[in-house]
Structure 1
Amino acid sequence: MIPTVSRAPLLLASRLLLAMLFIFMGWGKLTGFSGTVAYMTASGAPLPSLSSIIAILVELGLGLLVALGVLTSPVAILLALYTVATAFIGHHYWTFSGMERYDMWIHFYKNFSIAGGFLAVAATGPGRFSIDALTTNTSSLKF
């Protein structure tokens, strides 16, 4: 029989690992804003400056909320939706050929996998090591 593993550290690790990508990417977009706008323009994002600001707010802001475990389930669902949307906006592999197509294909489906991770976090909740757990007396948070 496999020993039971406490879910709290695993939920914390999953939140941190998922959020890490968004926090790092959001910070990079913020500190290299002109490059972010240039990338948004090149990728065909609508209103590149506004798209850049939205991307920074979503990635950095919502990423930090997930890492800290604040409003975890609704924020995780928003990040799942955002991640699927960015797959279509930024990784349109069907417009490439050769190795570029393969690289974009990997990134496109990687986004779907990350979205799945966020949906799992939304379904399970943040766990005991979260701000949500400190502010709520819900027994489902006490894993």
Structure 2
Amino acid sequence: MRYSMLEGQRDLVLLLARVLLMTLFVFSGWVKLTGFDGTVSYMASLGAPAPTLAAGIAVCMEFAVGILLILGFYTRPLALLFALFVLGTALLGHPFWTMIEPARSANMTQFLKNLAIMGGLLSLAVSGPGRFSVDGR
């Protein structure tokens, strides 16, 4: 069995992974929260059902759940829930298959970025948060 250089730093790498995965969402969630009326308008422009509820869910997931994941609190189930949320935002917010260039390319990139983030979240759901977390204590 080969020993990876990062294996000895597993807990530190998992902490870094949580911070890197969630920083974008916590920041975005804060912007949505502090500009809630604009967030509701944006949700309506996307055709989201119940735009106020959709905006509230987005703020809760991105800001609150993002912070919980950084802290490593209920990491496995919340990472799985967040992966489903990111899939929903990809399908609702980046439907590149309905667009023409240049919006098609830009939204395809965003859609694929969401899939990549889902991969990280699913890895976190399987691996757990590591020792440097609320769960690890």
Equivalence for 2:108: 105
1:2 Cα shift? 7.2
Q: Any idea what SS the aligned residue of 2:13 has?
A: helix
Equivalence for 2:89: 86
1:4 Cα shift? 2.6
Where do 4+ consecutive residues of structure 1 move more than 4 Å? Answer: none
Instruction: Compute the RMSD of aligned alpha carbons.
Output: 1.2
Structure 1 portions without partners, runs of 5+: 135-143
Question: Structure 1 vs Structure 2: percent identity of aligned residues?
Answer: 46
Show the 5 A alignment for 1:16-55: 16-55=19-58
1:85 Cα shift? 1.0
Equivalence for 1:4: 5
Structure 2 portions without partners, runs of 5+: none
2: distance between equivalents of 1:2 and 1:98? 47
Q: What letter is aligned with 2:31?
A: G
1: distance between equivalents of 2:3 and 2:134? 30
Q: What letter is aligned with 1:9?
A: L
Render the CA deviation track for 1:116-141: whole Å, top value 9, x for unaligned. Answer: 1000011111001001011xxxxxxx
Equivalence for 2:74: 71
2: distance between equivalents of 1:4 and 1:23? 30
Q: How many correspondences in the alignment?
A: 134
> Measured at CA, do residues 125 and 31 of structure 1 come closer, stay the same or move farther in structure 2, by a change above 3 Å?
same
1:35 Cα shift? 1.1
Q: Any idea what SS the aligned residue of 2:136 has?
A: helix
1:58 and 2:61 correspond: yes
